[in-house]
Chain A
Amino acid sequence: MTATDTTLRTAGAARVVDAVKVYGRGDTEVRALDGVSVDFPAGRFTAIMGPSGSGKSTLMHCAAGLDTLTEGAAFIGDTELGTLDDRRLTVLRRDRIGFVFQAFNLLPTLNVAENITLPLDLAGTRGDPEWIEALIDVVGLRDRLHHRPSELSGGQQQRVAVARAFAGRPDVVFADEPTGNLDSRSGEEVLGLLGRAVRDMDRTVVMVTHDPVAAAHADEVVFLADGRLVDRMSAPTADKVLDRMKAFDLAASDGPAPQEVPR
């Protein structure tokens, strides 16, 4: 990760080129991604938006090495994910990527502190203690370190997940609907944390969301529809994003209904 810190800042922390993802065969074939190329620049907060079935989650999964592309390539920095075997891919996720999922982010058997350092522990390293201490303060969980996840509220659990995602200073953090299960106030807190991480701590975040309010926290929004990249929007606001999304709904009611993408 020092490479990305010191070399070209314009290079994408993560990117996909001509990404195609096909599920099923023959009659049941579904093209979840249909030739998407997109760069997620380092030091930026990018949101991926699109209606249900647009392929936004698939894009994130493929870009983050959780799923493989049918065609095209996905990169983390200069590493092409398609060339890695399962073990290398796992190690790459562990060392260079952070994750925040919608729900079930934490291991119930580990306490807060252990959950935060889980990827580092799996790697058998201690990480940077000062950085981790700082993170704990930023997410405001110092007095909860020895609690189990079941003793935390949903918002607190997501904040632990955020701390875990950044603990190893990964190249990029992928967040999949991180506020989907939270009330609006907790959601704001989590989004605020992601934003601060990018702007104050120089981290890179890619977030999948269907919530225009959440997308408004990003530096840039990319719009997906029917597996294709259809638009990009810089300096988004909730209203602008909502308007753009409404346009999709109109297009959808004119044209063929968007297909549901199976997971």
Chain B
Amino acid sequence: MSAASATARISLSSLRAHKRRFAGTFTAVFLGVAFLAGTLVMGDTLRASFDSMFGNASSGTDSVVRSADTITTPGDSQGVRQPVATDLAERISRVPGVAAAEPDIQGSGQLIGSDGKPVGGQGPPTLAGNWIDDPELNPYRLSDGRLPAKSGEVVVNRGAAKAAGLGIGDSTVLRTPEPVRITVVGLATFGGEDGMAQVTFTGMTRADAEKYLTPEPGQAASIQVRAESGTSQRELVDALGPVLPKGTEAITGQESAEENTEMISGQFLGIFTTFLLVFSGIALLVATFSIHNTFAIVVAQRTRENALLRALGAARGQVVAATLAEATVVAVAASAAGLAGGIGIAAGLQALFPAIGFPFPEGDLVISGLSMALPLVVGILVCLGSALLPALRAGRTAPLAALRESAVDQSGASRGRAVAGAVLAAVALGVTLTGVVAVPSVWLAGAGAVLALIAFVILGPVASSRAVRVLGAPLARLRGTTGRLAGRNALRSPKRTAATAGALMIGVAVVSLFTVFGASLKATMDQTVARSFAGDVAVSVPAFGAGGSGLSPELAGVITERPEVAGAVGLGRGVAEVDGAGRELTVTDPQALAEGLDLGAVDGSLGGLGTDGIAVSSAEADKRGLEPGSRTRLAFTDGERESFTVRAVYEQSELAGDYLVTREAWAPHRAQDADNLIAVTFADGVDPADGKAAVEKAAAPYGNPDVQTRDEYAQSSAGGIDMMLTLVYALLALAVLIALLGIANTLTLAVHERTRELGLLRAVGQTRGQLRGMVRWESVLVAAFGTVGGLALGAFLGWVLVAAADGAGDSAFAFALPPARLAIVALVGLAAGALAGWRPARRAGRLDVLRAIATE
């Protein structure tokens, strides 16, 4: 028998003999890999589905003609493109090789559902446009009913109709944002699906589209062109070149489809998969701890066995190889199972998504080589990497150890560890504080935070004895001997306790970090509203997502006419390049704005902006060297360039934005006009409830927008945060689950290790209940250590992030610790600890006393 096969045989037989010990490791790797593989498969599948959906939908479009220039503002990747003239379509259709050319008029239109509430707006866009008659050029297909023939008739996509509870023949209101009465006459599909994800689309007649979706007739977002058969897309684009006016461009249908896919993939899928990948990374990191721990314990328990092997002539390398071979078998088996699990997850989500109203395109799962190879490699590396140190330790076993009592590693933390940890912690603190206080930088602070995390892990064993003693003190008092024994057991191997708790610590730290960050965002919103919103109620659009079609610019005027209302001012959004850089403009009545919002100190006069004046926030003015009287050049999406004079500089830009222009100044350049917010101030002596009711009544015909008090407005601004937090919690549950499996596994191994001791306890009168309690309380103690450490670390990291962002960014960022939520995190951590101890406790309780005290 060769040396290698001997090694393999030893590890295989040892695996068979200790299947249970590796169940935890297997599960940890399995879960991590399954999550990772599931994410990748789902991402690929979604991407492929979108590809084919856009491919199908736009297969008839051979070229798209559109404006060549976009204005891109920070934070908006798409940019705003100026319209093209609709009569260009006529000219194009006369070009040889062109079979058809149709203007595509696009804007936003939000349907009011049968329940009177606006549909969508919290996420994907709510689109409206002209129904393109050429079926080859129209991405939508009529599936039921008929096409709109006269004004007020529309086709909606099937998904939107379902969400709105509308059917053919139903009448409702479309917010464009002017309320338009419409009747649904037909339903449409997009690329064979109910819609393009959750985007809603309302198709109107061309006349209606021009009337409601563009400031003036004759403008379209683009011209869709179809070639005659025999003319390639490229040839078509070349043929169109001569007739295109300056500032317009033609791209092939293929390029357009790719752009659309890229937009969805990049914006939605990219963020979505990155997000999931980060969390599977966290889960795998946590798994690393529990795998390392399992192998460390197993190697310690096997000291005598390994020593015997060494005494009988096994080389050091052979012992290491045997342990690593064991790890490899577990890693490969668990990773392979994880791949299958990942495919299962993706398939499950494909079935689940439609059920919760998210159309996950049908079709086969796309399982690429990469999305299988990557999780497999990562899983194996994580497992082998975690087992490496324990394996090397196994190799160092002295042959003489065979003669000693089987040794559990009870060594505490070494001095070197304490020193290294302390130095690293100091460096981490230094870097962090530099990033927060001295040179505010999120990157520097982030680097410090990562160092702090590593310092925490290194210092874990140093801290664990002290921490367990402190945390265990009340336990001994409350639970008597059971509690005291549990505490002593948790103290036995500081390294092991620290590693076990470390996994949970990381999980809890990330949970706390997000909790603190979310609370800080909310507090910031609260403060913003408290500081900047001077009105009594706000009429607003959803703060999260595309925001629907916005509010009618007429609404502010209508509300002002109510006797209960002293003033109402609407804020709309426009974009322009200010001295060459894309910026958002706030289109409003600047004078009235000072009533509805608190703009802080104003240098200059907001009253006389006129059509060539602009007001600038002080932060932006400082950055760009502007002051009252300076001149600045604005370039609009319609290609016009105008010179504006800065007439006022104001302090608070949180709700108002950085640039204010009057509606008059904006009017020549406007696209589809909409307000995002209307700040309403009541007349003196008006009861707030009456005032609110009056505003609601005035706003009702405009599609029932939300009317909110200041508090409600602040809360709804933060509404998306809770949604994100819920998602984050759900994703982190996996990491916490892996950490708990780690605790359970460690305890099971410890129970096994202490068989005789437990037998002795039972013999001298410890009841089964007391024994179970002892194991469970040990579990709770370890969990408490992890939870407390995690809370502290998470809160610290949260503070670092918030403080660094506050220092580095223009807008103020408030730090908030949510005590109730953090208390819940702590309780969940402790309860989870009790849960993790449940099974090991039961196993310990079933111990056969006699076997345990047997002298052999």
Q: Which residues of A contact B (CB under 8 A)?
A: 61, 66-67, 86-87, 90-91, 93-95, 99, 101-110, 118-119, 121-124, 164, 176-177, 180, 263
Contact = CB atoms under 8 A, between A and B. Distances in A.
A118 B763 CA distance: 11
Interface stretch (B216-224, B336-344, B424-432, B765-773): B765-773
B855 interface: yes
Contact of B765 (A61, A90, A108, A110): A90
Contacts of A91: 765, 767
Nearest to A110: B488
28 contacts: A61-B850, A66-B763, A66-B853, A87-B768, A90-B766, A94-B764, A94-B766, A99-B764, A101-B760, A101-B853, A101-B855, A104-B757, A105-B760, A106-B760, A107-B760, A108-B492, A109-B485, A110-B485, A110-B488, A119-B765, A121-B480, A122-B761, A123-B765, A124-B480, A124-B481, A176-B855, A263-B850, A263-B854
Contacts of B489: 109
Interface in B297-356: none
Nearest to B771: A90
Shortest 8 CB-CB contacts between residues of A and residues of B:
A94-B765, A109-B488, A121-B481, A119-B765, A90-B767, A102-B855, A119-B764, A263-B854
Contacts of A93: 763-765
Contact of A122 (B481, B492, B849, B854): B481
A122 B765 contact: yes
A109 B761 CA distance: 12
A122 to B, nearest CB: 5
A87 B769 CA distance: 9
A263 B856 contact: yes
Interface string B482-517: 001100110110000000000000000000000000
A124 B766 CA distance: 11
Nearest to B853: A101
Chain B interface SS verdict (over half): helix
A122 B850 contact: no
A123 to B, nearest CB: 7
A106 B485 CA distance: 13
B66 interface: no
B81 interface: no
A263 B851 contact: yes
Interface string B739-775: 0000000000000000011001111111111100000
Residue among A95, A106, A109, A164 with most chain B CB within 10 A: A109
A122 B766 contact: yes
Interface residues of B, number: 28
B637 to A, nearest CB: 75
B698 to A, nearest CB: 73
Most B Cβ at <10 Å: residue of A86, A101, A102, A103: A101
B496 to A, nearest CB: 14
Contacts of A90: 762, 765-768
Interface in B811-856: 849-851, 853-856
Given A121-B481, A177-B855, 20 more contacts: A66-B850, A86-B768, A87-B767, A87-B768, A91-B765, A94-B765, A95-B765, A99-B763, A101-B760, A101-B763, A104-B756, A104-B853, A107-B757, A108-B492, A109-B489, A118-B761, A119-B764, A122-B761, A122-B765, A263-B856
A52 to B, nearest CB: 12
Residue among B492, B763, B768 with max Cβ neighbours from chain A (10 Å): B763
B492 A109 contact: yes
Contacts of A66: 763, 849-850, 853
Interface of B: 480-481, 484-485, 488-489, 491-492, 756-757, 760-770, 849-851, 853-856
A175 B762 CA distance: 16
A119 B768 CA distance: 14
A180 to B, nearest CB: 8
A107 B765 contact: no
Nearest to A104: B756
Nearest to A103: B855
Nearest to B766: A122
A164 B492 CA distance: 23
Contacts of A99: 763-764
A95 B767 CA distance: 12
Nearest to A124: B480
Contacts of B757: 104, 107-108
A18 B851 CA distance: 24
Contacts of A177: 855
Contacts of B851: 263
Contact of B485 (A61, A105, A107, A164): A107
Nearest to B408: A108
Given A93-B763, A101-B853, A118 B488 contact: no
Contacts of A164: 764
Nearest to B481: A121
A82 to B, nearest CB: 16
A263 B852 CA distance: 11
Contacts of B756: 104
Contacts of A94: 764-766
A164 B761 CA distance: 12
Contact of B770 (A95, A109, A122, A176): A122
A150 B42 CA distance: 57
Contacts of B761: 107, 118, 122
Contact of B760 (A104, A180, A263): A104
A24 to B, nearest CB: 15
Nearest to A101: B853
Nearest to A106: B760
- The interface centre, meaning the residue of A66, A124, A263 with most chain B CB atoms within 10 A of its CB, is A66
A123 B484 CA distance: 14
A261 to B, nearest CB: 12
Contacts of A108: 492, 757
A99 B766 CA distance: 13
B855 to A, nearest CB: 5
A251 B761 CA distance: 40
Nearest to B856: A263
A4 B691 CA distance: 89
Nearest to B761: A107
A104 B765 CA distance: 16
Nearest to B848: A67
Nearest to A117: B481
A108 B756 CA distance: 11
A172 B251 CA distance: 99
Contacts of A176: 855
Nearest to B758: A107
A109 to B, nearest CB: 4
A249 B851 CA distance: 29
A79 B366 CA distance: 72
Nearest to B762: A90
A180 B855 CA distance: 10
